[in-house]
Amino acid sequence: MPFQFHEESRDPGSQARTGRFSNARGTVQTPVFMPVGTQASVKTLRQSDLETLDAKIILGNTYHLYLRPGHELIRELGGLHKFMSWDRLLLTDSGGFQVWSLAELNRIDDNGVRFQSHLDGSYHTFTPELSMDVQLALGSDCVMAFDWCLDYPAERSEAEKAVRLTLDWARRCRTAFDAGAKLPDSDAALFGIGQGGVYADLRADCLAGLRDIGFDGYAIGGLSVGEPKTAMWDMVEAGMPHMPEGAPRYLMGVGTPEDLVEGVRRGVDMFDCVLPTRNARKGSVFTSRGRLVVKNAVYARDERPLDPECSCYTCRRYSRAYIRHLFQVGELLAQELATLHSLHFYLSTMRRMRKSIESGTFGEWSAAFLDTYRSGDVD
Amino acid sequence: MPFQFHEESRDPGSQARTGRFSNARGTVQTPVFMPVGTQASVKTLRQSDLETLDAKIILGNTYHLYLRPGHELIRELGGLHKFMSWDRLLLTDSGGFQVWSLAELNRIDDNGVRFQSHLDGSYHTFTPELSMDVQLALGSDCVMAFDWCLDYPAERSEAEKAVRLTLDWARRCRTAFDAGAKLPDSDAALFGIGQGGVYADLRADCLAGLRDIGFDGYAIGGLSVGEPKTAMWDMVEAGMPHMPEGAPRYLMGVGTPEDLVEGVRRGVDMFDCVLPTRNARKGSVFTSRGRLVVKNAVYARDERPLDPECSCYTCRRYSRAYIRHLFQVGELLAQELATLHSLHFYLSTMRRMRKSIESGTFGEWSAAFLDTYRSGDVD
């Protein structure tokens, strides 16, 4: 069963919509938040936890998995799903963002990007063709085209160059993906990624160019890299009309709970972000009433759960006082419990959002959600 | 329901026996291995994991919990069971061993031990009375008398002094425990700890002295601290006849899977040790065929579970190749999966041992178990 996307309902007062995409592995209802499993693990969680949280798709990182354990090893062992024991969908990024943000760059030219590993300084070159080969070796369900991410701020000329490279590479990715050897039973879809910095016309041009090439899904990349939030939403709005309605629209690397609502309002179908997992490991969790820094001393005697409104494993069983103690003494269970909670909050927020769109009440629901969330009334 | 112990069956060919002890919280079948939850957490595991593993009793550490979060805080919040959400039995050690092994000692006299915290250098004095107060504040089900642990090697005069102190403190513990304020619904039992270094007659004298005072259970302490294994078993054998048959007999801080078999053969009912959990976190797990250092490169492409004979969560779902990768890249999931496996191996080994004693086949079972375990044939 090849990859398919269908829109299912639309909010009368905004661009918010629900839909679903599916392949032989399963179905993902959108709008969706995808937990990030950088190194073939959503940090601190077991794959059964993600099933319990009802995550239907998670991310893997091409750059990290290429370096360790190596894509050829994963191909040899039957692909990433089998390697990590995850039979639901996987999206892999292109490696472009990590090369840009983590590696020591040596040279960028039309061919690709030469860089040094952040681990051992070894030299590597990522090309569109290699990115496709790695992602096909992993057996990804949603393969991302290799793009060029721009620094913020960047001159217009730099942004133009990034768009030109990104479109050129997108064409090569399309060719390499179509010709590439797939793992058995693989139903991979290919997504294009739009760049263009904070220049609205370049964003539009890039996505229009991608649309001409033709992809199964379209992403807005290179945002949430330091630009003001208003600029980010301007770019999303600039790009949205140029992304086909019949394909999922993915805002990469975003964001806070508020961002999820604001993105959905503008028509975004897919999100990923390390925020819920990374912050949780540092002792800061997301709740219906805003962020709660559970490791703070004020919670030492607080017998309430992290979020009294929450039904996750952590909140059903443990107090703030206990979790605060675990952070205080450096017990790893602290990170697990906080991660379980924050991902539950993200995924259940997306479920509620979908339900409100289906019932035509997204406007009211989102206003109430944001009002409570912004109250910051966690104590 | 006060603490009770009953012997239930006895191996015809050795001192091995089965039994059970219970209070209002539940029943523990012996011989039993107790996972160590030093800081109110069995490292990397959730309390529900311990329930799934069918652990009926776990340890907490008086020294660590006294320092952080503090026993008064835990008392205020209703005791350790409630604080950590664990409603089965808890045994707390006396603090003596940690003061001896972790803290900077300042002065030992008849009154108690003055030491500096290993965390911040702050000064504290543990007395028998304080140890009882802390353990009663925690609401422990099995309270250990405050003892004095001996360095190895130690002169006979030092060992005699340790026995004298330990017996004197045991009497004070008995008094303080009996008079101390218990948490509501607490059914705490008090265990005495025998010392005596590697001097068999001192071991016997100490346990006989404890028996005269009268305790609910009896422990052999101060072993597995560097002495040869033969000396350890000599001390166990020297002590065993002096421990009442009607009370559980606890060999503290022991040991390897082989030690569990050897201890049970000599009549031991209870064990605790950090070995399965600590080694697991370092990438070394226990299997039916010996230790397996899963982080080794030889497992990079090994699709088998850690132990093909094992039915634990880890072995049902994950390969050595995946777990090796997780250790390699520093993912915390590695430590969780390895800990789950090794504790499952310890607890299921104890279940099998109990069954073999009940069916009168401990001799055959233990020979076969040790033969396979010692084969080291993990590859």
> In this predicted model, what pLDDT tens digit does every residue of B110-162 receive, in sequence order?
999 999 999 999 999 999 999 999 999 999 999 999 999 888 999 999 999 99
Q: What is the structure's pLDDT at B301?
A: 98
Distance CA B120, CA B287 (A): 39
CB-nearest partner of B301 from A43, A76, A303: A76
Q: Does A105 touch chain B (CB under 8 A)?
A: no
- For chain B, the residue count is 379
Q: Taking the CB of residue B124, how many other CB atoms lie within 10 A of it?
A: 18
> Is the predicted pLDDT of residue A253 greater than 80, yes or no?
yes
Maximum distance among all Cα pairs of chain B, rounded to whole angstroms:
61
Q: What is the structure's pLDDT at A352?
A: 98
Q: Is residue A191 within 8 Å of residue A217, measured between CB atoms?
A: yes
Give yes or no: A212 in active site: no
Q: Is residue B61 within 8 Å of residue B35, measured between CB atoms?
A: no
Q: Taking the CB of residue B293, how many other CB atoms lie within 10 A of it?
A: 15
Region A286-293: what's the mean pLDDT?
98
Q: How far is B334 from chain A (nearest CA, A)?
A: 9
Interface test with A, best of B299, B314, B325 (most A CBs within 10 A): B325
Q: Is residue A288 within 8 Å of residue A307, measured between CB atoms?
A: yes
Q: Is residue B255 within 8 Å of residue B271, measured between CB atoms?
A: yes
- Comparing alpha-carbon positions, the chain B residue that sits nearest to A74 is B301
Q: What is the structure's pLDDT at A51?
A: 98
- ipTM of the complex, rounded to two decimals: 0.98
Q: What is the structure's pLDDT at A113?
A: 94
CB-nearest partner of A317 from B85, B321, B326: B85
Q: What is the structure's pLDDT at B104?
A: 82
Backbone angles phi, psi at B10, to 5 degrees: -140, 140
Distance CA A325, CA B191 (A): 28
Q: What is the structure's pLDDT at A145?
A: 98
Region A80-104: what's the mean pLDDT?
93
CB-nearest partner of A43 from B46, B83, B332: B332
Average pLDDT, chain A: 96
Q: Does A181 touch chain B (CB under 8 A)?
A: no
> Is the predicted pLDDT of residue B207 greater than 80, yes or no?
yes
Instruction: Give me the residues of A, 159-178, that contact B with CB < 8 A.
Output: none
> Which candidate, B252, B254, B20, B23, places its Cα nearest to that of B145?
B252
Q: Is B328–A68 a contact, with Cβ atoms under 8 angstroms apart?
A: yes
SS (H, E, C) chain A: CCCEEEEEEECCCCCCEEEEEEECCEEEEECEEECECCCCCCCCCCHHHHHHCCCCEEEECHHHHHHCCCHHHHHHCCCHHHHHCCCCEEEECCCHHHHHHCCEEEEECCCCEEEECCCCCCEEEECHHHHHHHHHHHCCCEEECCCCCCCCCCCHHHHHHHHHHHHHHHHHHHHHHHHCCCCCCCCCEEEEEECCCCCHHHHHHHHHHHHHHCCCEEEECCCCCCCCHHHHHHHHHHHHHHCCCCCCEEECCCCCHHHHHHHHHCCCCEEECCHHHHHHHCCEEEECCEEEECCCHHHCCCCCCCCCCCCCHHHHHCCHHHHHHHHHHCCHHHHHHHHHHHHHHHHHHHHHHHHHHHCCCHHHHHHHHHHHHHHCCCC
Q: What is the structure's pLDDT at B136?
A: 98
Q: What is the structure's pLDDT at B292?
A: 98
Q: What is the structure's pLDDT at B74?
A: 98
| Residue A330, CA distances (Å) to B44, B55, B134 in order | 11, 23, 22
Whether the bond between A69 and the residue before it is cis, its omega within 30 degrees of 0, is: yes
B36-87, pLDDT tens digit by residue?
A: 999 999 999 999 999 999 999 999 999 999 999 999 999 999 999 999 999 9
Q: Is A68–B337 a contact, with Cβ atoms under 8 angstroms apart?
A: no
Distance CA B135, CA B58 (A): 14
Q: Is A322–B84 a contact, with Cβ atoms under 8 angstroms apart?
A: yes
Q: Is A319–B83 a contact, with Cβ atoms under 8 angstroms apart?
A: yes
What share of chain B in percent tops pLDDT 90?
93
Indicate the pLDDT class of residue B347, thresholds 50, 70 and 90. Answer: very high
Q: What is the structure's pLDDT at B65?
A: 98
Q: Is B301–A329 a contact, with Cβ atoms under 8 angstroms apart?
A: no
Distance CA B319, CA B313 (A): 11
Q: What is the structure's pLDDT at A75?
A: 98
A61-74, pLDDT tens digit by residue?
A: 999 999 999 999 99
> Is the predicted pLDDT of residue A194 greater than 80, yes or no?
yes
Q: Is A329–B76 a contact, with Cβ atoms under 8 angstroms apart?
A: no
CB-nearest partner of A41 from B69, B77, B331: B331
Region A171-186: what's the mean pLDDT?
95
A302-345, pLDDT tens digit by residue?
A: 999 999 999 999 999 999 999 999 999 999 999 999 999 999 99
Q: Does B321 touch chain A (CB under 8 A)?
A: yes
CB contacts, 8 Å: A336 with chain B: 44, 46, 332, 336
Backbone angles phi, psi at A62, to 5 degrees: -60, -45
Q: Is B46–A333 a contact, with Cβ atoms under 8 angstroms apart?
A: yes
Q: Is B300–A73 a contact, with Cβ atoms under 8 angstroms apart?
A: yes
Tokens of B261: 């078999």
SS3 B355: helix
Q: How far is B120 from chain A (nearest CA, A)?
A: 13
Instruction: Give me the residues of A, 335-364, that contact B with CB < 8 A.
Output: 335-337
Catalytic residue among B259, B272, B302, B307: B272
Average pLDDT, chain B: 96
Of A83-87, A147-151, B83-87, the one with minimum mean pLDDT is A147-151
Q: What is the structure's pLDDT at A356?
A: 98
> Which residue pairs from A112-119 have beta carbons closer than 8 angstroms and sit at least 24 positions apart in sequence?
A112/A146, A112/A169, A113/A148, A117/A67, A119/A67, A119/A68
Q: How far is A316 from chain B (nearest CA, A)?
A: 10
Q: Is B46–A84 a contact, with Cβ atoms under 8 angstroms apart?
A: no
- Comparing alpha-carbon positions, the chain B residue that sits nearest to A76 is B301
Query: Taking each helix axis from N to C terminus, what angle separates A128-138 and A156-179, rounded to the nearest 10 degrees?
Result: 50
Region A231-240: what's the mean pLDDT?
98
Tokens of A257: 């709970």
Q: Is B68–A328 a contact, with Cβ atoms under 8 angstroms apart?
A: yes
Interface test with B, best of A324, A329, A340 (most B CBs within 10 A): A329
Q: Is residue A302 within 8 Å of residue A320, measured between CB atoms?
A: yes
> Is the predicted pLDDT of residue A1 greater than 90, yes or no?
no
Q: Is B325–A69 a contact, with Cβ atoms under 8 angstroms apart?
A: yes
Catalytic residue among B49, B93, B141, B302: B93
Region B279-283: what's the mean pLDDT?
98
Tokens of B105: 């000692």
Instruction: Give me the residues of A, 28-47, that contact B with CB < 8 A.
Output: 39-41, 43-47
Give yes or no: A168 in active site: no
Q: How far is B258 from chain A (nearest CA, A)?
A: 29
Indicate the pLDDT class of residue B376, thresholds 50, 70 and 90. Answer: confident
> Which candidate, A33, A35, A95, A75, places its Cα nearest to that of A260?
A33
Element housing B201 (H / E): helix B200-213
Q: Taking the CB of residue A288, how many other CB atoms lie within 10 A of it?
A: 18
CA atoms within 13 A on the CB side of B220: 35
B214-270, pLDDT tens digit by residue?
A: 999 999 999 999 999 999 999 999 999 999 999 999 999 999 999 999 999 999 999
Indicate the pLDDT class of residue A106, thresholds 50, 70 and 90. Answer: confident
End-to-end CA distance of chain B: 49
Tokens of A230: 């208003």
Q: How far is B342 from chain A (nearest CA, A)?
A: 17
Q: How far is B159 from chain A (nearest CA, A)?
A: 35
Instruction: Give me the residues of A, 246-305, that contact B with CB < 8 A.
Output: 300-301, 303
Q: What is the structure's pLDDT at A200?
A: 98
Residues 6+ apart with CB under 8 A from A19: A5, A6, A7, A8, A29, A30, A248, A269
Q: Taking the CB of residue A68, how many other CB atoms lie within 10 A of it?
A: 15
Sheet hosting strand A270-272, strand order edge to edge? A32-34, A270-272, A249-251, A217-220, A189-194, A142-144, A89-92, A57-60
Q: How far is A263 from chain B (nearest CA, A)?
A: 31
> Is the predicted pLDDT of residue B99 greater than 90, yes or no?
no
> Is the predicted pLDDT of residue B1 greater than 80, yes or no?
no
CB contacts, 8 Å: A76 with chain B: 301
Tokens of B121: 């250098």
Q: Does A64 touch chain B (CB under 8 A)?
A: yes
